[in-house]
Amino acid sequence: MMEKRVKELHPCFGHGKNKGRIHLPVCPGCNIECNFCDRKINTSENRPGVTSAILTPTEALDALKRALEICPDITVAGIAGPGDTLASNNAIKTFHLIKEKYPGLLKCMSTNGLLLKERADELIELGIDTLTVTVNAVDPKIQAKVISGIFYNGKRYEGEEAARILIENQLEGIRKVSAAGITVKVNTVLIMEINRNHIKDIAKAVREAGAKLYNIIPLIPQHKLKDCVEPECIDIDGARREAEEYIEVFRHCQRCRADAVGIPGQKDYGDQIYLKRINHKDTFSHG
């Protein structure tokens, strides 16, 4: 059963639909080359992987202070990129500062899960309340079509070898953190040409690993998958119905930016919080 506090206070995990969250963009680098990912710094696009700034952990704490003054309904401090939260130490450093300064806030992290198996103990010790892991396939043949490669232990892997490493680390990481009491949500990007008929398998596998909630996100055709079709409402609904046979499904995802601030679906205060701008080339990198 999902922890009562999480259901009450987190707008993405329960009934706290009038609760706010802040995404603190402290993670520039990523260790996976997803074929649909196009990370950017701008103020115009409303989607994951986009932010108006990259902050240091100390700057993030200052941003959180300003956000709470503007929007007292914020109950969740989250870190969702724009790179991966475990590819550097920035997210964990930020959460340590938050834990000390704002112990009453829920601490929420999103990750691609490549390093989750080996960094799970750090998250458990830190006291992360909720964790979202993006799992787009549990079959290496399918996963290999979603990613071009991974950067792992100082080496780049491609194809099904990369896919196998990623899937194993994701599922084992979910097992470890969920066994420790962390509430886990899994995101899957629905790609009609690649994983549409694989949703049941993903839902079943992540539920068996300990995930409590499942979120199906329609593909935004871009980057290497720019020629794929964007799933329609009927496609998303069908996939959700299949997943519901195995796991509770989350249905009101807003596909938030990595610097979102406020109550989802209502006013966003990000432009009042993040004033710093950083050059795209100097910020986004792998590793």
- Averaged pLDDT, groups of 10, the chain, 287 residues long: 62 65 90 84 60 86 92 89 92 96 93 97 95 97 97 97 98 98 95 97 98 94 91 94 95 68 72 56 43
The pLDDT, as a whole number, for residue 178 is: 97
Helix axes 199-209, 159-179, angle to 10 degrees: 40
Query: What spatial distance separates the first Cα and last Cα of the chain, rounded to whole Å?
Result: 36
Proportion of the chain in helix, strand, coil states, percent, rounded to 5: 35, 20, 40
- Measured CA to CA, the distance from residue 39 to residue 17 in angstroms comes to 28
User: For the CA atoms of 208, 206, 265, 193, what is the dihedral angle to 10 degrees?
Assistant: -140
The pLDDT, as a whole number, for residue 265 is: 65
> Which residue's structure tokens are 């989607």?
47
The pLDDT, as a whole number, for residue 133 is: 97
The pLDDT, as a whole number, for residue 73 is: 86
- Measured CA to CA, the distance from residue 22 to residue 269 in angstroms comes to 9
- 43: phi then psi, degrees, rounded to nearest 5: -115, 5
- Measured CA to CA, the distance from residue 168 to residue 26 in angstroms comes to 26
Cβ-Cβ contacts under 8 Å for 282 (sequence gap 6 or more): none
The pLDDT, as a whole number, for residue 39 is: 64
* Displacement of CA 156 from its chain's centroid (Å): 22
The dihedral through the CA atoms of 28, 12, 224, 152 has a sign that is positive
- Measured CA to CA, the distance from residue 9 to residue 91 in angstroms comes to 21
- Measured CA to CA, the distance from residue 264 to residue 261 in angstroms comes to 8
Radius of gyration of the CA atoms of the chain, in A: 17
User: For the CA atoms of 86, 129, 146, 207, what is the dihedral angle to 10 degrees?
Assistant: 140
